[in-house]
Amino acid sequence: MSKSFVLKFLLIIIGLSQITGVKCYAQNNELYALVELVLENSQLKNETAGYSVALVKNGHIVYASGFGLANSNLQVLATDSTEYRIASISKTITATIAMRLWQKGKIDLEQSVHHLLPEYRLKEKGAITPHHLLCHQSGMLHYSGNEETDCYHPYSELELLKYSVSKKTNYNPISALSIFEQQPLCFEPGFGYNYTTWGYCLLGAYLQRTQHKTYNALIIDEVTAPLEMMNLRIALPVNSKSQLAALHKRVKDSVCQAIGKGPEFENISYKAAGGGITANVYDLGKFIIGLTSSNYLADSTFQLMATPKSTSQNKPTGYGYGLGVEYQLNDTIYSHTGS
């Protein structure tokens, strides 16, 4: 069975104008023309201000292109080098760090995280393990949860603001735990599935504490250095670069640049492990190449990561460790989105 990867991210930028900045690395002009045709007629044309695309084939990036605008106010064109917030694809990065450490025997996926992280107290419904965090079975809320259900409790906006103001040059997932530490669990860990960014933020804190390294150092050691991903980084204000696409939003049937203040505009690093990383399409292409290479992840490690995890009640979830898993005919599609 082949490994087919779809790592896709949908930015909060709506509407498309002109096509620009095309670079094609494929020898096959028919492939180039087909990709252009698909993109020209895709829904993205009417839903985004701009976007970038890369294609990987047989372990190589064969196509990279930018379309539309990265900044509509300044009329900056989107190119193959434009950097974006990759949002929840950050979870796949964190999961990969965990898998690399696991295959080296440096973490135990079934160990309670609480004894190493007293900053996140043991909850009434039970202990959480890295396994629960990786496959969204911890019972933790996704931000504040759903007001229409019993699974709702606001996170601390005050702690979020305090963190964002004080941590503009470095990311500390352990310090960020105060933002959501007071929230209860929705269910006993392992008994259900609830997609959660906070769960991956807790996982980032656990990895940092167990390895006695900063999360940023773990990204470098386990992801960016071995895969030569030159532009992937935590979305700290100090790391903001001119290549970073601006945020946009839809207003009725048009698009405009989103301008505002607060953590979501000024410092999203508080959720780096679950949704606060930036990268360009070359980085994501190299990441896909790494995940499909047994030199980077052993086949047995990838199999563990990419196998959908059922709950303790044998309910299927369609999610492995940081990867969505979908079966189509005789192939398997591994993917993650971010928005």
Q: Please write the tens of the pLDDT for every residue from 214-249.
A: 999 999 999 999 999 999 999 998 777 778 998 888
The candidate with the shortest Cα–Cα distance to 122, out of 130, 114, 134, is 114
Which residues, in sequence order, are CB contacts of 119 under 8 Å at separation 6+? 174, 177, 178, 181, 205
Top-confidence residue, 311 or 45 = 311
**CA triplet 287, 288, 293: central angle to 5 degrees?**
95
Q: pLDDT by residue (tens digit) across 135-169?
A: 999 999 999 999 888 899 999 999 999 999 999 99
Which residues, in sequence order, are CB contacts of 85 under 8 Å at separation 6+? 11, 235, 244, 245, 247, 268, 276, 277, 278, 338
Q: What is the pTM of this model?
A: 0.90
Q: For residue 306, give the H/E element and its range.
A: helix 299-306
3-state secondary structure of 50: strand
251: which 2 tokens? Answer: 């207003």
State yes or no: pLDDT of 21 exceeds 50. no
Share of the chain above pLDDT 70, in %: 86
